[in-house]
Amino acid sequence: MAASSSTAGCTTAESFLFDTSVRNTAVRRAIGTPMSIDTAVPKMDVRIMYNIPVLYKLEKHIFANSATHQFTGGSNLLAAIIVLAIMILPTVINMSVSSIQAVPQQMRAASLALGATKIQTIFKVTVPAAKSGIMTGIVLGIGRALGEAMAINMVAGGTVSFPLPFNSVRFLTTQLVSEMGYASGLHRQVLFSVGLVLFVFIMIINLTLMKLKKKGAVEND
């Protein structure tokens, strides 16, 4: 019984990556066309808000006997992480699928002709050939997550505290958005410094991913 279930799972995965019609249908159902992705994300954000009561129940269960924990009502770091993760998924998935579809069918056919299995072809041929596009999708997704302000402002709590999963926190972007309108003098200079820190942080992440991408390209060569 277990063997048949495993075989069925492998067959489904193989058909997704090798059968174009199956893959396209599944992807369109999951994320829609590129034109509909941006319109779908706000709807997802609204649905994600329903997770806050669930997280609050989990928080009450974990810290039921704690005398020092300040309950957040579900608006905490964990809620913000979930929101950002789901928000960047359409971008990463769309770029990754497009890259996998761009891999020439001849490469897969040659791998299979040399005796490789479909699973080996997926991980040894298809994914390495599409690595550049997948990394691009990851970079774009991380860039969107780092620049997001309003969505996480709704679920993070907005309190300056140590960033633990069930603590209410304030992100750098929300700090800029919430205070730049009335800041002046030294306060305004501090906010510009916060923006500079955010910019440097994004540059470090991009440079790191570019180095990893070049390293992978050299190893493939």
Query: What is the C-alpha separation between 17 and 80, in angstroms, rounded?
Result: 32
Q: How many helices (H) and strands (E) does the chain have?
A: 12, 0
Query: What is the C-alpha separation between 188 and 194, in angstroms, rounded?
Result: 10
pLDDT in tens, the chain (221 residues): 444 444 444 444 444 444 545 444 544 444 444 444 444 444 444 445 555 677 778 888 788 888 787 777 777 888 888 888 888 888 899 989 998 999 999 998 999 999 989 999 999 999 888 888 888 888 888 888 877 777 787 788 777 778 888 888 888 888 787 788 888 889 888 888 988 988 888 888 878 877 777 776 666 55
Domain ranges for the chain, please list them.
Answer: 35-220
* Amino acid in position 99: S
Query: What is the C-alpha separation between 144 and 147, in angstroms, rounded?
Result: 5
Query: Which residues on adjacent β-strands are paired with residue 181?
Result: none
Q: φ and ψ at 45, to 5 degrees?
A: -60, -40
Q: Looking at domain 35-220, which of 3.30.70.20, 3.40.190.10, 1.10.3720.10, 3.30.70.141 is its CATH number?
A: 1.10.3720.10
CA distances from 77 to 55, 83, 154 (A): 11, 10, 11
Give the list of residues 6+ apart from residue 89 with CB closer than 8 angstroms, or none: 31, 141
